[in-house]
Amino acid sequence: MNTNTNIPIYCCEVKDMSNDTDIAEEFLSAKCYDFSSLFDYETKVQRHILYFEDEISANLAAESIKKLDQLWKDMGIKFSEPKTFSIERKDWSEVWKKFFKIQHVSEHVVIKPTWLDYTLATDDEVIVELDPGMSFGTGRHATTRFCIKMLDQLTKSLDKSATVVDAGCGSGILTIAAYKLGFHNISAFDNDPGCIITTTENLELNKIDPPLIRLEERGLQNSDTTKKYDIVIANIMAHILVENREILKNMMKYDSHLIIAGILTEEYCEVRTKFEELGLTQVNSLTEDEWTGGMFIHKCSKK
């Protein structure tokens, strides 16, 4: 997005009145909108704000949301009437800060905005710093939290030399969390060039030299399955996980772990079955809000 502070940002905003506001975040992300999901701790209202370079695009997004009203409802999403407005970029840099707090995501991982201070509670806590601003992938989503919890859990059983791949890295939050937890042999990829830029920026923000991560712009379908990993992470929507399940399985070493998320609870049983049919065994799963994630192990005997 243009960083010239003299040019306004054009916005389309909806209030989210769904029972589970995470669902809307997932689907807005899938539609490739540049947006923020902001929870106002004073009014207890969740808002989604979409950002555009021009007024026409903002108005078109508002019309699209109105036309898809029934589809949103069918998915359990209830939006208010969308409204459009513009805001000066120099003002926005301060406005969104009040919506983000320090998060204790797992036993050892704390996610904090850069402008807040935090003192480690224990020597083995690690901090992931993010500037949420206008980006998706801030650790507030249940699917992200699940993946971080599983990574944290694996630090107790795996050597820190274990190889990790973050399939569909998005903002890079899982890559950063894995690195901060001590896994330094990490690969990451995404088919969106914007995600590669954001991941690189977030690595630098966390004082991780980007060349230390093997970061690529590519899709899951273009994976080199001759490369095997101890931990494969895929926080992707359910249908993409199922379509690419054999690729994900073939990226795993024997006795390695696969962490999958991005799955609505009502879809999880079917997704789990598809992966178990490949010979994988579920060793953990968690449900939060309307989302369920699973961790599987590849225990097949080597032939």
For residues 132 and 36, the answer to whether their CB atoms sit within 8 Å is yes
Ordered per-residue pLDDT tens for the chain, 303 residues:
544 556 788 999 999 988 776 778 777 776 767 787 777 666 778 888 888 888 999 999 999 989 888 888 888 888 999 999 988 766 665 666 666 788 899 999 999 988 889 999 999 999 999 876 544 456 667 889 999 999 999 999 999 899 999 999 988 999 999 999 999 999 999 998 878 988 999 999 999 999 999 999 999 999 888 899 999 999 998 999 999 999 999 999 999 999 999 898 999 999 999 999 999 999 999 998 788 999 999 976 544
96, 121, 140: which is the final residue of a domain? 96
Pair (276, 293) in one structural domain: yes
Residue 303 lies in a domain: no
| Residue range of the domain that includes 19 | 9-96
Pair (82, 209) in one structural domain: no
Pair (22, 160) in one structural domain: no
Q: Rounded to two decimals, what is the model's pTM? A: 0.76
- Geometric angle at alpha carbon 137, from 55 and 119, rounded to 5°: 120
Pair (126, 272) in one structural domain: yes
Pair (114, 229) in one structural domain: yes
Residue 119 lies in a domain: yes
43, 77, 96: which is the final residue of a domain? 96
Pair (79, 125) in one structural domain: no
Pair (129, 88) in one structural domain: no
CATH number of the domain that residue 235 is part of: 3.40.50.150
